[in-house]
Amino acid sequence: MPHSALADLLFDLAVLFIAAYLLAAILQWVRIPPILGALFVAMAAHYTPIGDRLLADDLYPTFSFVAQMGVLFLLFFIGLEIDVAEMSSRGRDILFLTAIGALLPFLLGAGVMLLLGYGVLVALVIGMTRIPTAEAVIVPILDDFGLLKTRVGQFIVGVGTLDDFFEVILVAIVSVWIGSRADAHDSVSAEVAMIFASVIAFAFVSVVLYRWGIRWLSRLVKRDTRQLVLLSMVILLSFGAACEMSELGMVVGAITAGVVMAPVLKGDRHGEQAKEVFRSVGYGFFGLVFFFWVGLSVDLGGLFTSPLLAILLFAAASIGKIGATLLMIPMGRLSWREGWTIGIGLDARLTTEIVVARLLYDANIIELHLFTALVAAASISAITVPVAFAVVVSRWGDSLKETLPVSNEVAHVAIGDQDSLLATEPQEPCPK
C-alpha cells in the first residue's frame, strides 16, 4: 500500500472511531449497545468523502481484510463462551428450528419470485438467499446484555452457525450453476463431493483437538497469559484459513476455534486474562471496524429503483424467520418473549445475498433490477434488525435471563427429581 493511501486509511479510521466513541456516550443512556454506534456512524459516512475513500479500490481491500478479522475475533470470543454440554442438551430443538427456519423463508422467497414471473431456477436460488443468518451482527449485542449463555443466546448462535452450512451450499449451487452454463458439467459432482469431504474432515479434526489435542499443545510451554493468547491465535487463524480454503466459511471456523480453545482457558487467572484480551481487542478495535464495514456496505438505492421487490424480499425472510421461531411457542419449547427475541435475532442478513446477487448478476443470470433489490433488502436488514433486537433485549433482558423449562418433559423430570429429593431428605433446608 502506498504511503499516502496508508495515511488516508489511518485518518479515516481515526475519524470513524472518534465519532463512534462520542455516539456511544449517547447510546448508553438509552440502553443501546455502544458497538451499534459504529454501524450508525459508518452509514452516515457512506455519503461523505470518507466513505468514497474507504470503498475505493486502493483502500477497500485492506479495510475489508481488517473487517473480516473483526468477524474472526468477535466469533472466536463467542465460541469461548459457548457451553457445549448445555447447547447439546438443546440440540434437537436447535436442529428443528434450523430446519423450519430454513424452509419457511425459502418457500416465501421462492414464492415471491414465481408470483412476479421469474423462472423456477432463479426463484429457487433467490429463495435460498432468504435462509442464512448474519449472526456476527447480533452476537455482540447478546454479549453486551449478558444473554450469550441464556437459552436465547444458545439458540441464536446454534441456529446461526448451522445456517452457515446452508450458505456454503447456496454459494456452491450458484457456482456450479454458473459453471454449467459455461459447459463445465464435469465439475458439479467433484464440487459437491469436496464440500462433504471438507465437512467430515473439519468435524473430525475439531473433535480430536477439543477432546485431546488442545490440552497436549497447551502443555508444551509454560502456562501464562501470553502463551495462551499465542496458542489461541494459532488455533483461530488455522481454523479460519482451513474453513475459507474448504469453502465452509470463516464464521464456522472462528466459532469452532473458540469452542476448541475454551477448555484450556478455564480454571485460572491466566486463562481468564487471555479471554479478556480477545474480548477487549474484538470489541475495542476489530469488531468496530467490522461494523464500520457493515455500515458502509449498506446501499438503499434499490428502494428507489425497485421498492416493491426489495420490500417483498425483505418481508419474505423476516416473516419466515420470525414465524418459524414463533411456532416453537405453542410447542412449549420457548416462551413468547424468547420466541420473538430469537426470531428477530435470526433475521439478521447481509453478506450472503449480496455475494450471491453479484455472482448471478456478473453471469448475466439476473438483471440489474433484481440485483439492486437484493442489495436493498440486505441493507434494510442490516439497519433495522440490530436496532430492533437491541430495543427488544433492552426491554426484556431481565426476564430472558430467567431459567425456564426447555420442554414439558424436562419440566416434569425436574419436578419429579425435586419431589424425590424432598421425600428422601426432608430435614435438609433448600440452599439459598
DSSP assignment string, 312-349: HHHHHHHHHHHHHHHTTTTTTSS-HHHHHHHHHHTT--
Give the domain range for residue 358: 3-397
Can you read off the three cell numbers belonging to residue 362? 456478473
- What stretches of 69-172 adopt beta strand conformation (E)? none
Name the percent of the chain lying above pLDDT 70.
85
- Number of compact structural domains in the chain: 1
The predicted structure's pLDDT at residue 253: 87
Phi, psi of 206 (to 5 degrees): -65, -45
Q: Residues 39, 386: contact at Cβ < 8 Å? A: yes
Cβ burial, residue 198 (10 Å; 0-12/13-18/19+):
middle
- 32 or 399, which is more confident: 399
For 63-72, give one letter per residue: b (16+ CB within 10 A) or e. bbebbbbbbb
Length of the chain, in residues: 432
> Average model confidence (pLDDT) for the chain?
82
What is the distance between the alpha carbons of residues 143 and 237, in angstroms, rounded to a whole number?
22
**What pLDDT is attached to residue 233?**
96
Distance CA 235, CA 256 (A): 10
Query: Within 13 A of 386's CA, how many CA atoms are on the CB side?
Result: 28
CATH number for the domain spanning 70: value is 1.20.1530.20
pLDDT confidence of 245, banded at 50, 70, 90?
A: confident
Q: How does residue 177 score in pLDDT terms, banded at 50, 70 and 90?
A: low
Check whether 163 has a pLDDT greater than 70. yes
Element (H, E) at 365: none
Residue 416 is predicted with a pLDDT of: 40
Give CA separation, 249 vs 165, 238, 381, in Å: 9, 13, 21
Contact of 16 with 41, CB cutoff 8 Å? yes
State how far the Cα of 42 lies from the Cα of 289, in Å rounded to an integer.
9
Average pLDDT over residues 317-345: 93
The answer to whether 76 and 236 have CB atoms below 8 angstroms apart is: yes
Section 242-270 average pLDDT: 86
- Among the residue ranges 128-142, 153-167, 172-186, 282-296, the one predicted with the least confidence is 172-186
Residue at 325 is within a domain = yes
Q: What is the pLDDT of residues 348-372, one digit of tens each?
A: 876 667 777 777 777 777 888 888 8
Inform me whether the pLDDT recorded for 403 exceeds 70. no
Rounded to an integer, the average pLDDT of 234-254 is 86
Q: Examine residue 174 and state whether it is found in any structural domain, yes or no.
A: yes
Q: Does 347 reside within a domain?
A: yes
Q: Is residue 404 part of a domain?
A: no
For cell 468477524, name the residue: 71
What confidence score (pLDDT) does residue 367 get? 84
* Nearest CA-CA partner of 39 in 62, 8, 11, 70: 70
* Cβ–Cβ under 8 Å, residues 32 and 18: no
Q: What are the E-state strand segments in 147-262?
A: none
Identify the pLDDT of residue 288.
Answer: 92
Q: Residue 91 has what pLDDT?
A: 82
* Confidence band for 316, pLDDT divided at 50, 70 and 90: very high
Residue 408 or 229, more confident: 229
- Measured in degrees and rounded to the nearest 5, phi and psi for residue 401 equal -85, -15
* 355 vs 332: CA distance, rounded Å: 37
Q: What is the mean pLDDT of residues 275-297?
A: 90
Write the pLDDT tens digit of every residue in 70-83: 989 988 988 888 77
Assess whether pLDDT exceeds 80 at residue 180. Answer: no
Quick check: 103 and 319 in contact, CB under 8 A? Answer: no
User: Among 44-58, 88-102, 171-185, which stretch is predicted with the lowest mean pLDDT?
Assistant: 171-185
Q: Compute CA 207 distance to the chain's CA centroid, rounded to the nearest angstrom.
A: 22
Report the 10 Å Cβ neighbour count for 398: 9
* Residue 214 Cα to chain centre, angstroms: 25
418 assigned to some structural domain: no
Residue 189: its pLDDT value, please? 61
Inter-CA distances, 194 with 161, 172, 198, 202, 211, Å: 20, 10, 6, 12, 26
Asked if residue 114 has pLDDT above 70, the reply is: yes
User: Higher model confidence: residue 397 or residue 432?
Assistant: 397
CB 173 within 8 A of CB 187: no
Determine, yes or no, domain membership for 410.
no
Q: How far is CA 415 from CA 408, 410, 420, in A?
A: 10, 9, 9
Sign of the C-alpha dihedral computed for residues 282, 31, 319 and 301 taken in this order: negative
Query: The cell 450508525 sits on which residue?
Result: 40
The CA angle 171-341-157, to the nearest 5 degrees, is 45
All three cell numbers of 97, joined, read: 428450528
Grid coordinates in use for 50?
A: 470518507
Mean pLDDT of 18-23: 94
Cell 480477545, located at residue: 278
| 307 within some domain | yes
Q: Of the ranges 171-180, 258-267, 306-315, which one carries the lowest mean pLDDT score?
A: 171-180
Mean pLDDT of 293-299: 83
Instruction: Give the pLDDT band of residue 119 (cuts 50, 70, 90).
Output: confident
Residue 273 in any domain: the answer is yes
At residue 11, the pLDDT reads: 95
Rounded CA-CA distance 307/325 in Å is: 27
CB 125 within 8 A of CB 170: yes
